[in-house]
């Protein structure tokens, strides 16, 4: 159909606008769909880039384990202490060193992990974890203990087990028993959250036997050299001669009252 355009009456007359008579354009559905598709594609692309980056990052930086951290060399706190003039003869010094780890393993349940810090409790200011630790030794359960030798020039250690006198309920009646102390092949702190009889370090040597009696208190000790920052690992078990008669001894120890208690006395060497 032919269309006609009106001519102006005079040169000063406004030019008629034919677009004013046209109907308004209908909105197109194509533009929103294109925008939505672009957003989806960008999101997928970003996710792929992020996944690729995380994979490359994990391959470049492997996960650091508890054992890796504990294997790091501890820097010396005593720089040039060897240049300090010492009195001659040397003045003897000593102090008590308490366990950094004390937990149990069970030969009857080889994969069992004993709970640590069972005496913790909640207060208005947060969780309180007492330093009390349990020693439990039975026919199948043994106690693993670790110490760290500390301070400078205190490199003679004395492993000591102190038990109370006859009025203690640790041993009933006229009961007698023998414990064995073993040195474990572990030079770094063990992870108490995963330690079980299966994962326990192997025994290297037998340090000695401790014969206990309900009539007398006991103080047993063994001396050995220990370097600064060296980790010392032991295991307390029932002696084979006692397991046939039944073996059970248990106590809670803390630093304020180390009797009964297993601890180390460090003696000066310079």
On whether the CB atoms of residues 116 and 193 are closer than 8 A, the answer is yes
Q: What is the pLDDT of residue 86?
A: 86
CB neighbour list of residue 75: distance below 8 Å, 6 or more residues apart: none
Q: What is the pLDDT of residue 52?
A: 74
Gap between the Cα atoms of 108 and 241, Å rounded? 19
> What would the mean pLDDT of 38-66 be, rounded to a whole number?
76
Model confidence at 142: pLDDT above 70: yes
> What would the mean pLDDT of 81-105 be, rounded to a whole number?
91
Gap between the Cα atoms of 59 and 81, Å rounded? 43
DSSP string of 198-213? TTSPPEEEEEEEEEEE
CB atoms within 10 A of CB 253: 21
Assigned CATH topology for domain 93-267: Jelly Rolls (2.60.120)
Per-chain mean pLDDT for the chain:
83
> What would the mean pLDDT of 184-189 be, rounded to a whole number?
94
On whether the CB atoms of residues 34 and 42 are closer than 8 A, the answer is no
- Alpha-carbon dihedral angle through residues 58, 59, 63, 69, given to the nearest 10 degrees: -130
Rg (CA), the chain: 38
Model confidence at 165: pLDDT above 70: no
Peptide bond into 66 cis (omega under 30): no
CB atoms within 10 A of CB 9: 7
> What would the mean pLDDT of 137-159 be, rounded to a whole number?
95
Phi and psi torsions of 178, nearest 5°: -130, 135
E strand residue ranges, 107-202: 121-123, 126-128, 133-138, 141-148, 156-163, 176-184
- Residue 164 is classified by DSSP as -
Model confidence at 113: pLDDT above 90: yes
Give the model's confidence band at 28: pLDDT under 50 very low, under 70 low, under 90 confident, else very high.
low
Instruction: Return the sign of the alpha-carbon dihedral for residues 14, 19, 24, 25.
Output: negative
Phi and psi torsions of 10, nearest 5°: -140, 165
On whether the CB atoms of residues 160 and 253 are closer than 8 A, the answer is no
Model confidence at 194: pLDDT above 90: yes
Q: What is the pLDDT of residue 118?
A: 86
Q: What is the pLDDT of residue 99?
A: 94
pTM beyond 0.75: the answer is: no
> What would the mean pLDDT of 94-104 be, rounded to a whole number?
95
Which of these, 254, 259, 247, lies nearest to 171 by C-alpha position?
Answer: 247
Q: What is the pLDDT of residue 206?
A: 95
């Amino acid at each position: 159909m032919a269309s006609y355009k009106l001519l102006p009456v005079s040169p000063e007359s406004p030019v008629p606008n034919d677009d004013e008579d046209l109907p308004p354009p209908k909105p197109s559905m194509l533009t929103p769909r294109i925008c939505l598709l672009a957003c989806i594609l960008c999101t997928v692309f970003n996710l792929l880039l992020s996944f690729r980056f995380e994979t490359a990052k994990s391959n470049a930086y492997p996960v650091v384990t508890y054992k890796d951290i504990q294997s790091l060399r501890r820097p010396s706190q005593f720089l040039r202490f060897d240049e300090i003039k010492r009195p001659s003869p040397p003045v003897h010094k000593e102090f008590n060193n308490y366990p950094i780890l004390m937990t149990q393993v069970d030969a009857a349940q080889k994969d069992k992990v004993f709970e640590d810090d069972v005496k913790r409790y909640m207060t208005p200011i947060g969780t309180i974890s007492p330093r009390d630790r349990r020693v439990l030794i039975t026919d199948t359960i043994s106690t693993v203990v670790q110490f760290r030798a500390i301070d400078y020039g205190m490199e003679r250690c004395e492993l000591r087990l102190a038990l109370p006198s006859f009025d203690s309920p640790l041993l009933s009646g006229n009961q007698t028993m023998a414990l064995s102390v073993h040195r474990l092949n572990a030079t770094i702190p063990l992870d108490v959250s995963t330690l079980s009889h299966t994962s326990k370090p192997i025994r290297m040597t037998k340090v000695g036997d401790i014969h206990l009696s309900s009539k007398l208190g006991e103080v047993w000790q063994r001396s050995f050299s220990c370097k600064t920052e060296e980790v010392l690992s032991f295991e307390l078990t029932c002696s084979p001669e006692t397991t046939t008669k039944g073996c059970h001894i248990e106590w809670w120890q803390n630093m304020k009252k180390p009797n009964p208690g297993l601890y180390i006395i460090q003696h000066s060497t310079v």
